[in-house]
RNA sequence: UGGGGUGUGGCCAAGCGGUAAGGCACGGGACUUUGACUCCCGCAUGCGUAGGUUCAAAUCCUGCCACCCCAGCCA
């Protein structure tokens, strides 16, 4: 089997004869804490866990790591499940909660106490901090460190029974107060907390810490490979310590990889929350946010996100992936799938002066040149059309081959027209563009075979729909809004990250649509209906991503 | 000499002692009834750095440098 990344390398070794998991089935898990919404960074972890299991013919569990009731809520559990399903992964019947293991964890803690590997400490949080030492100096042993096991066991049971106040005492591992690894300086294993747990209610008033709970959760589920992010590297010795000192049914292996960062975006829960709560964006599913619900509303497909996650690779290097790569993956997917449609986002009236006033005709347009099997649809044409304001200029500039007086252009699938001028109001705003058409060019090709370089899209003024179009761009202009910790990144928000066009015109074939799905607005980009605001009689489209535009690129700076 | 990690082109990333894959971005060109798509071409005499071992080093060894993580009763 070929390894796609260093984790696969390790797994292959583990599975080999004499390896740590020889003869075992690979088992991974995705263990979110239900305290917020999932984002693209989680998607990377989800893809790594599920695809690794799949690659080796194993399984991946979904587990809510709910060991801290003061931060967790049920509403998140549902959104997390929904997002993972949406991405296209299935955990079948293997959906678990860390809280289901509380009784077993308590039992393991008692084992540790009996072995003299853990003790009840009555130091306050402040005292624990003070005696922990610093990065360069060893800590001091707690005065309770040598408390007899019987006494600790008794206290631990009374802790569980609610005899003590929150924070009054803790269960601590007895490891090494002078370890260079801070996590090994007698870490707290259990704390007293009377917050209401979303699943166990008030059954417990003591809760295990992550470092104690996680290896047990993994072991109980027979996880072989516990894949997590880099910041847990220093916790691995403690993870192994717990497994080694309890009567563990399994010996899972933790492997760490670098989490995903994206340019032009903020990923941390705290920062996203602030953007939402201070109303810089429209909720957790704002299309500019890197949350999965935001990306979904923006029109990102699960396939594009999965593909993105697979292609960015897995390593231990601190990395920031260019947002342009995510966009590339979306375009690549939508180019194959999205039906083409004509829409004029910023309309200006085009009058074809030599076209009869009351005449109308119909043209057939292909739905997707990439997929001829998708068939064709009809669009109507008449004397007055809407065209994109950008497609007309009063004067030619170098390289511009759209409409300007005297110049010919093709109206997609219809006729070749020649621009004759424009009308303006008193302020000098262009109110209409004038042109004449070539009656012998029906369909778009000139009878004399002359080549027409430019083709523009259009919509019949007599047969179209008004729509609101929301043009989204990066939330942050800076590639790295997240770098300097203390900077007020809100001030760096891109003022043009949302431009609303309320009077856009879209072709009639879109009338009444409510189905989810993406369209390519010809020459503009990929768009989808906004799931929150669009109504069959008042369409609202979100721009998922623009088409690549070498003209625009060439003309800026 | 706290501990743990990482350094390959602008951004990801292969490479596992035999003479620098691939993708994105970027630049050029072809094609084009989407300035899209597609297709060509270009883009590291170089792998943090200095030495060493070897016929041969991004890969092995040593020193140095840079950056990231750790002192929650968060995960």
Task: Give tens-digit pLDDT for A189-237.
Answer: 999 999 999 999 999 999 999 999 999 999 999 999 999 999 999 999 9
Catalytic residues of A: 33, 259, 269
What per-residue confidence (pLDDT) applies to A143? 98
Looking across all nucleic acid strands, the nucleotide with the smallest C1' to CA distance from residue A192 is B73
What per-residue confidence (pLDDT) applies to A296? 98
Nucleic strand B within 7 A of Cβ A25: no
DSSP secondary-structure letter at A70? T
Q: Pairing state of beta strands A347-352 and A430-437?
A: parallel
Whole-number distance in Å between A402 CA and B21 C1': 42
Q: What is the percent of chain A with per-residue pLDDT over 70, rounded to a whole number?
A: 99
- Range name among A52-61, A318-327, A331-340, A482-491 with the lowest pLDDT average: A482-491
Residue in the structure block whose two tokens are 């004038």 = A434
Whole-number distance in Å between A472 CA and B27 C1': 28
Report the first-to-last Cα separation within chain A, whole angstroms. Answer: 49
Nucleic strand B within 7 A of Cβ A191: yes
| 3-state DSSP helix/strand/coil % of chain A, to nearest 5 | 30, 25, 45
Region for A57 from its dihedrals, namely left if φ exceeds 0, alpha if ψ lies in -120 to 50, beta otherwise: left
Nucleic strand B within 7 A of Cβ A231: yes
A157 Cβ contact list (under 8 Å, min separation 6): none
Q: Which residues of A15-41 are buried (b: 16+ CB within 10 A; e: fewer)?
A: beeeebbeeeebbbbbbbbbbbbbbbb
Query: Mind listing the pLDDT tens digit for each residue in A385-435?
Result: 999 999 999 999 999 999 999 999 999 999 999 999 999 999 999 999 999
Average pLDDT in chain A: 96
Report residues 75-94 of A contacting strand B, contact meaning Cβ closer than 7 Å. Answer: none
| Dist. CA A241–CA A253, nearest whole Å | 12
Phi, psi of A486 (to 5 degrees): -90, -15
Report residues 33-72 of A contacting strand B, contact meaning Cβ closer than 7 Å. Answer: 33, 65, 67-68, 71
Q: What angle do CA A39, A42, A43 make, to 5 degrees?
A: 90
- Is pLDDT above 80 for A489? no
Nucleic strand B within 7 A of Cβ A391: no
What per-residue confidence (pLDDT) applies to A491? 79
Report residues 479-518 of A contacting strand B, contact meaning Cβ closer than 7 Å. Answer: none
- Is pLDDT above 70 for A487? no
Q: What is the percent of chain A with per-residue pLDDT over 90, rounded to a whole number?
A: 94
> Which of strand B's nucleotides are less than 7 A from any protein C-beta?
2-8, 10-16, 22-27, 33-38, 67-75
- In the β-sheet with A206-208, what is the strand arrangement from edge to edge? A118-121, A170-173, A188-192, A206-208
Phi, psi of A492 (to 5 degrees): -100, 10
| Dist. CA A99–CA A435, nearest whole Å | 72
What per-residue confidence (pLDDT) applies to A483? 64
| Dist. CA A343–CA A458, nearest whole Å | 7
Three-state DSSP at A15 gives helix
Nucleic strand B within 7 A of Cβ A316: yes
ipTM above 0.95, yes or no: yes
Q: Pairing state of beta strands A340-341 and A539-546?
A: unpaired
Are A441 and A449 within 8 A, CB to CB? no
- Is pLDDT above 90 for A14? yes
**Please, which contacts does A150-154 make with residues 24 or more away whose CB atoms are closer than 8 Å?**
A151/A120, A152/A113, A152/A118, A152/A119, A152/A120, A153/A110, A153/A113, A153/A114
Please compute the mean of the pLDDT values over residues A93-99 and round it to a whole number.
98
Predicted TM-score of the model (pTM): 0.96
What per-residue confidence (pLDDT) applies to A488? 72
- Is pLDDT above 70 for A118? yes
Stated as kind and residue range, the H or E segment containing A78 is: helix A74-87
What per-residue confidence (pLDDT) applies to A235? 98
């Amino acid at each position: 089997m070929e390894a796609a990344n260093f984790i696969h390398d390790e797994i292959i070794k583990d599975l080999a004869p004499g390896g740590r998991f020889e003869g075992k089935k690979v088992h991974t898990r995705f263990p979110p804490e239900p305290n917020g919404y999932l984002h693209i960074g989680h998607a990377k972890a989800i893809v790594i866990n599920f695809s690794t299991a799949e690659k080796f013919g194993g399984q991946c569990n979904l587990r809510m790591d709910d060991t801290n009731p003061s931060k967790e809520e049920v509403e998140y559990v549902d959104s997390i499940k929904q997002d993972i399903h949406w991405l296209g992964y299935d955990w079948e019947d293997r959906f678990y909660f860390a809280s289901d293991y509380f009784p077993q964890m308590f039992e393991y803690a008692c084992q540790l106490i009996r072995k003299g590997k853990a003790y009840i400490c009555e130091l306050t949080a402040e005292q624990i901090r003070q005696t922990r030492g610093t990065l360069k100096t060893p800590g001091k042993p707690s005065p309770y460190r040598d408390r007899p096991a019987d006494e600790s066991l008794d206290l631990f049971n009374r802790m569980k029974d609610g005899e003590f106040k929150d924070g009054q005492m803790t269960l601590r591992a007895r490891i090494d107060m002078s370890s260079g690894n801070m996590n090994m300086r007698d870490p707290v294993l259990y704390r007293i907390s009377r917050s209401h747990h979303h699943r166990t209610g008030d059954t417990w008033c003591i809760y295990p810490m992550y470092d104690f709970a996680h290896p047990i959760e993994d072991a109980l589920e027979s996880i072989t490979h516990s894949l997590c992010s880099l910041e847990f590297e220093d916790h691995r010795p403690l993870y192994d310590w717990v497994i080694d000192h309890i009567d563990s049914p399994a010996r899972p292996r933790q492997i760490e990889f670098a989490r995903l960062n994206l340019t032009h975006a903020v990923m941390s829960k705290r920062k996203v929350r602030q953007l939402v709560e201070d109303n810089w964006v429209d909720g957790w599913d704002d299309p500019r946010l890197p949350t999965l619900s935001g990306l979904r509303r923006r029109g990102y497909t699960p396939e594009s996100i999965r593909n993105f996650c697979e292609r960015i690779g897995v390593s231990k290097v601190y990395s920031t992936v260019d947002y342009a790569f995510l966009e590339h993956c979306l375009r690549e997917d939508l180019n194959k799938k999205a039906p083409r449609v004509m829409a004029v986002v910023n309309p200006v009236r085009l009058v074809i002066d030599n076209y009869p006033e009351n005449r109308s005709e119909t043209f057939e347009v292909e739905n997707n040149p990439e997929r001829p099997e998708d068939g064709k649809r009809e669009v109507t044409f008449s004397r007055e059309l809407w065209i994109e304001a950008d497609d007309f200029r009063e004067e030619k500039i170098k390289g511009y081959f759209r409409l300007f007086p005297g110049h010919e252009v093709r109206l997609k699938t219809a006729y070749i027209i020649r621009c004759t001028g424009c009308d303006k109001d008193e302020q000098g705003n262009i109110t209409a563009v004038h042109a004449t058409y070539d009656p012998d060019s029906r369909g778009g090709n000139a009878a004399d075979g002359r080549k027409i370089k430019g083709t523009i899209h259009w919509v019949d003024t007599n047969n179209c729909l008004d729509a609101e179009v929301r043009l989204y761009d990066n939330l942050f202009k800076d590639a790295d809004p997240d770098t300097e910790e203390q900077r007020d990144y809100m001030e760096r928000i891109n003022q043009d990250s949302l431009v609303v066009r309320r009077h856009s015109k879209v072709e009639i074939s879109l009338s009444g649509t409510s189905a989810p799905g993406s369209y390519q607005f010809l020459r503009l980009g990929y768009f989808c209906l906004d799931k929150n605001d669009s109504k069959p009689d008042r369409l609202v489209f979100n721009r998922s991503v623009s088409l690549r535009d070498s003209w625009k690129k060439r003309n800026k700076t």
